[in-house]
Amino acid sequence: MRIVGLTGGISSGKSTVSNLFKAHDIPIVDADLIARDVVEKGTGGWKKVVSAFGEDILLSNGEIDRRKLGQIVFADPAKRKLLNQLLAPYISSGILWKIVKLWIKGYKVIVLDIPLLFEAKMDRWTKPTIVVWVDSETQLQRLVARDGQSHDDARNRINAQMALDLKRDKADIVIDNTGSLDDLNQRFQEVLSEVTKPLSWTEFMLSRQGVLTTLVVVIISAITCKKIYNGGV
């Protein structure tokens, strides 16, 4: 199995690229969706977060007010670190379970869409890693236009993540998304060809098909050896 790591920065266009992969029938393991699931009311993650940040972050229905919590953690690095530490075990388990289910279904290529791919060191388990990159000014203007935030709030959110230039330097593949949607689609087609090329031997052996092939070979070898042994007795 090939696990492709996809990351970027807020308003870089990572979600657009993720949707392009979906449109080509490549399954996505979305860390953001998993992060939402693990803090649903009553879950272990929800209890940890409420205990750490207080009931003031709750909506009237008991769910976590994600916008309010976001304002708190994006303005305070220590609280952001605490939140990441509290939720990391739940998110990691959710990601692993999603990958296992896709492995069981026999998918050969999947995309792990995770904003903190490098920060969480999840890039160790992905190959290749893809970074969707834009210059800092474009990123800021897109975020302000998208969410209607002030420039200061937008900068706080951007600065809360690893700089896109640093992520770009760590990536195996870079998708420059400073241009038009047509430019992005053209670059995506090149990337798609790269990530869907035939699996390496190691990747094949880690796929369900590879494991089944190995199992069949072992069984046939055992039967053959038994026949040879019995014939020689």
Percent of the chain with pLDDT over 70: 88
Task: Give the domain ranges of the chain.
Answer: 2-201, 202-233
- For residue 134, give the 3-state DSSP assignment: coil
Closest CA to 4 of 164, 134, 125: 125
Confidence class for position 230, pLDDT limits 50, 70, 90: low
Mean pLDDT score, 224-228: 59
Confidence class for position 207, pLDDT limits 50, 70, 90: confident
Q: What is the pLDDT of residue 104?
A: 87
pTM assigned to the model: 0.85
For the beta sheet containing 109-113, the strands, ordered from the edge strand earlier in sequence to the opposite edge, are 28-30, 109-113, 2-8, 129-133, 173-176
Give the Cα-Cα-Cα angle 106, 112, 116 (nearest 5 degrees).
Answer: 160
Confidence class for position 228, pLDDT limits 50, 70, 90: low
Residue 4: strand pairing partners: 111
- For residue 35, give the 3-state DSSP assignment: helix
22 vs 205, residue with greater confidence: 22
Scanning the structure block, which residue is given the tokens 């409420």? 50
CB contact set of 42 (below 8 Å; sequence gap of 6+): none
Question: What average pLDDT does the chain have?
Answer: 89
Q: How many CB atoms lie within 10 A of CB 66?
A: 13
Mean pLDDT score, 73-77: 88
Q: What is the pLDDT of residue 216?
A: 61
Mean pLDDT score, 10-27: 96
203 vs 16, residue with greater confidence: 16
pLDDT in tens, 106-164: 899 999 999 999 998 999 999 999 999 999 999 999 999 998 888 888 898 898 889 99
Q: What is the pLDDT of residue 184?
A: 97
Which segment, 40-44, 150-154, 225-229, is predicted with the most confidence on average?
40-44
* The 3-state secondary structure of 47-72, one letter per residue: HHHHHHHCHHHECCCCCECHHHHHHH
Which of 2.60.40.2230, 1.10.3720.10, 3.40.50.300, 2.40.50.100 is the CATH number of 2-201? 3.40.50.300
